[in-house]
Amino acid sequence: MNQTTAHTTAKPQALPLRKDVPTHLTWDMTALYATPDDFYAELEQASQLAEQLSSTQMLSLGDAASIIRLLELYERYLIILSKAGTYAGAQSAVDMTDSELQIRARDFDSTVAKLNSQTTIVLQTLKQADETLLTQAIDLNAKYKAFLTDLLAQKPYTLSLEVETALVSLSPVLDLPYNNYEQCKLADMSFPDFKVNDSEGNTKTYPLSFSAFENEYESDPRTDFRRAAFKAFSSRLRQSQHTIASDYLAQVKKEKILADMRGFDSVFDYLLHEQKVPRAMYDEHIDTIMTHLAEPMRRYARLLQTANGIDKMTFSDLKVPLDANFVAKVSIDEARDYCVDALTLLGDDYTDMVKRSFSERWYDFAQNQGKSTGGFCASPYGEHSYILLSWTENLGDVFTLIHEIGHAGHFYNAGQQQNYLSYEPSLYFIEAPSTCNELLLGHHLLEQKQDSAYQRYVIASLLSNTYYHNFVTHYLEAHFQREVYRAVDGGKNLSTEDLHALKKATLQQFWGDTVEIDDDAALTWMRQPHYYLGLYSYTYSAGLSIATQLFKKLRSGDSLNDNIIDDWLAVLRAGGSKTPAELTQMVGVDITDKATLIDTIGFISELVDQAIALTEQMQEG
């Protein structure tokens, strides 16, 4: 880690085209398919399997053995789609302006829509099978127990074969809100340059893009620059507000219609059913955070204000670094070493996976025009993961990296023990392994030096990246999202202005008088794709609560469970074979008790107190 004491003021360069990006910064998709022709050939194989799956012979379920045969063939079919879907979908995210990549993704989507309409009858036939026969199938081959148990739970909400087939056939159309949002955001939304006067009165011009703003500008320590960037960014967002609002409201209305069609009491019950989480727990989660987390985060905002000499805190100031004069630049090689060292306690198999991920190019580190913002981990069954991020050499990038490695490690372990149909865990649990990795990284970095400035830098990184971004930002998304669904569930038609007002009210309720929330801050809901993924946003704070409790056990050597590491690896290997509550019970964490969440918030509050104390020490010194 290269440490300097001054923030660079060099004018950023415009992002390169994808073709000009060095190969070593890109992922190697040839591990999936050597050529696009191989991809299309395997799609054809999926088509042949779909023909077999929909045949009368395969769908004649006369005994338990016939059910197992059907599931084994169905699993082979789905594994191909998992692999092909990553190849087409993940690649399209690296350059939304590349027509070849986008056509390939659309080819996959249209092919899968056709195949799924053909194979919908598989699930329908299974759901209509006699319950005794399904139970006998579980006894015959226990590896399908979790899948068949979930299938039985879905039976009350299953529509007729004709309707289910029609819905699958319409999936390309039903997915348009999300696809349109991504196209609008990444392909059509170009940003004009903006101008800022420097300390000497000279006017400088800077390029603007989603990636530049979210990866660099909104955390720039120069207040005038940061606010100018936010104003210019928000101005361009506002020009697309009605288009994006139309996309989002179409998504919400679609989900409400599907919830009603399937007989759920509310859209919340519909979206939470698959997560295996009751609505009462979801509501308590959101309400508890608003009650207990707002105060320590307001203290953190005031610390940022004081440390940076800011006249008043605005929404655009919340990602300012605590110490602008302490800048740590981290190379990719250094980041690899930090990740390996931080995760050593998880065992050789896990760290060997991490080492291989770098040598085998599982990552797309490049920054280029048209690339999706943020980061994600795509994990096709039976293959290694593919991780997308944009490397800026900041310490925050290392936290993002080890977060995505957490997802890769989760699916790597689950893939060793679970069949495809029990591979994916509940959405409620999915962020726990990744955020636990972030906390392990923070702990490892804190052990490197006892210097107050360095210690504060690492703690501030945990607060700003792990907790502010993954806990607070996504929680505020979830709170806003709940208000939107409540309105739609109650039969209200929302407008663009309503969405702005709901987001603004959420931010004001959380930050109070500590942070000024203006009309530009109200546009923040337009920036995230999470709203198109069901009740996803709240799972970050849920996962981080689980991760915090696990981290405390891992680092304290909890006397109640000396085998906590082995238990945690067993949780990872369990995949989706257990409910979230069952998974956390394996490591002694009770997510049904709000005291768990309150204790996690207490941990965050302690980090804020440590940052304040270190600041006072530095000032006294």
Tokens of 562: 């000396």
Among the ranges given (193-197, 218-222, 412-416, 468-472), the one the predictor scored with the smallest mean pLDDT: 468-472
State how far the Cα of 302 lies from the Cα of 514, in Å rounded to an integer: 7
Judgement on whether residues 162 and 274 belong to the same structural domain of the protein:
no
Give the pLDDT score at 477.
96
Give the pLDDT score at 9.
38
Average pLDDT estimate for 292-307: 96
Identify whether 447 is part of a domain: yes
Instruction: Give the chain's length.
Output: 621
Number of structural domains (the chain) is 2
Judgement on whether residues 292 and 406 belong to the same structural domain of the protein:
yes
Identify whether 263 is part of a domain: no
Judgement on whether residues 288 and 160 belong to the same structural domain of the protein:
no
Contact assessment for residue 338 and residue 330, using Cβ atoms and an 8 Å cutoff: yes
Strand locations in 376-421 (E):
376-378, 386-388
Identify whether 374 is part of a domain: no
Identify whether 388 is part of a domain: no
Judgement on whether residues 594 and 476 belong to the same structural domain of the protein:
yes
Instruction: Tell me the β-bridge partners of 2.
Output: 329
- Of the residues 147, 174, 201, the one at which a domain ends: 174
Tokens of 520: 């530009």
Close Cβ partners of 148 (under 8 Å, ≥ 6 residues apart): 126, 134, 137, 138
Q: What is the pTM of this model?
A: 0.83
- How far, in Å, are 229, 249, 376, 523 from residue 181 at the CA level? 22, 11, 17, 15
Judgement on whether residues 297 and 151 belong to the same structural domain of the protein:
no
Q: Would strands 2-4 and 363-364 be described as parallel, antiparallel, or unpaired?
A: unpaired
Residues 372-411: tens digit of each pLDDT: 877 899 999 999 999 999 998 888 889 899 999 999 999 9
Identify whether 512 is part of a domain: yes
Identify whether 14 is part of a domain: no
Chain center to CA of 305: 29
Tokens of 209: 């893009």
Judgement on whether residues 158 and 283 belong to the same structural domain of the protein:
no
Average pLDDT estimate for 475-502: 96
What are the two backbone dihedrals, phi and then psi, of residue 558, each rounded to the nearest 5 degrees? -45, 120
Give the pLDDT score at 528.
87
Residues 174-225: tens digit of each pLDDT: 999 999 998 898 888 889 999 998 777 889 999 998 888 988 899 898 999 9
State how far the Cα of 172 lies from the Cα of 494, in Å rounded to an integer: 25
Give the pLDDT score at 13.
61
Give the pLDDT score at 562.
54
Average pLDDT estimate for 90-96: 92
Tokens of 419: 């069949």
Q: Select the more confidently predicted residue: 243 or 540.
A: 243
Res. 4: pLDDT tops 70: no
The H-or-E segment that residue 203 falls in is strand 203-206
Three-state SS for 481-502 is HHHHHHHHHCCCCCCHHHHHHH
Q: Is the dihedral of CA 101, 106, 107, 109 positive or negative?
A: positive
Nearest partner of 165 among 213, 214, 225, 124, judged by Cα? 124
Reading phi first (left if > 0) and then psi (alpha if -120 to 50, else beta), residue 557 is in left
Close Cβ partners of 262 (under 8 Å, ≥ 6 residues apart): 157, 158, 159, 270
Judgement on whether residues 343 and 456 belong to the same structural domain of the protein:
yes
| DSSP per-residue string spanning 170-195 | THHHHTHHHHHHHHIIIII-----EE
Res. 593: pLDDT tops 60: yes
Among the ranges given (6-15, 145-154, 155-164), the one the predictor scored with the smallest mean pLDDT: 6-15
Give the pLDDT score at 290.
95
Contact assessment for residue 18 and residue 371, using Cβ atoms and an 8 Å cutoff: yes
Tokens of 253: 């209305």
* Domain of 52, in residue numbers: 31-174
Helix (H, G, I), strand (E, B) or coil at 377: strand
Give the pLDDT score at 607.
95
Judgement on whether residues 468 and 328 belong to the same structural domain of the protein:
yes
Judgement on whether residues 442 and 566 belong to the same structural domain of the protein:
yes
State how far the Cα of 314 lies from the Cα of 230, in Å rounded to an integer: 11
Give the pLDDT score at 210.
86
State how far the Cα of 185 lies from the Cα of 164, in Å rounded to an integer: 31
Place of tokens 């190849």: 87
Give the pLDDT score at 557.
53
**How many C-beta atoms lie closer than 10 Å to residue 60's C-beta?**
11
Judgement on whether residues 599 and 455 belong to the same structural domain of the protein:
yes
Instruction: Tell me the β-bridge partners of 302.
Output: none
Identify whether 91 is part of a domain: yes
Identify whether 506 is part of a domain: yes
Judgement on whether residues 166 and 279 belong to the same structural domain of the protein:
no
Residue 586: give its domain's CATH number: 1.10.1370.20
State how far the Cα of 467 lies from the Cα of 586, in Å rounded to an integer: 24
Q: Is the dihedral of CA 38, 44, 48, 51 positive or negative?
A: positive
Residue 71: give its domain's CATH number: 1.20.140.70
- Of the residues 131, 147, 174, the one at which a domain ends: 174
Tokens of 191: 């940003």
State how far the Cα of 275 lies from the Cα of 535, in Å rounded to an integer: 9
Tokens of 311: 């006249």
Res. 135: pLDDT tops 80: yes
Give the pLDDT score at 293.
96
Average pLDDT estimate for 448-477: 88
* Rg value, the chain, Cα: 24
Average pLDDT estimate for 303-317: 95
State how far the Cα of 301 lies from the Cα of 512, in Å rounded to an integer: 11
Q: Is the dihedral of CA 31, 34, 37, 42 positive or negative?
A: negative
State how far the Cα of 458 lies from the Cα of 466, in Å rounded to an integer: 11
| Position 536, amino acid | Y
Strand locations in 394-507 (E):
none
State how far the Cα of 225 lies from the Cα of 329, in Å rounded to an integer: 21
Judgement on whether residues 170 and 300 belong to the same structural domain of the protein:
no
- Of the residues 120, 147, 174, the one at which a domain ends: 174
User: How many Cα neighbours within 13 Å face the side chain of 519?
Assistant: 7
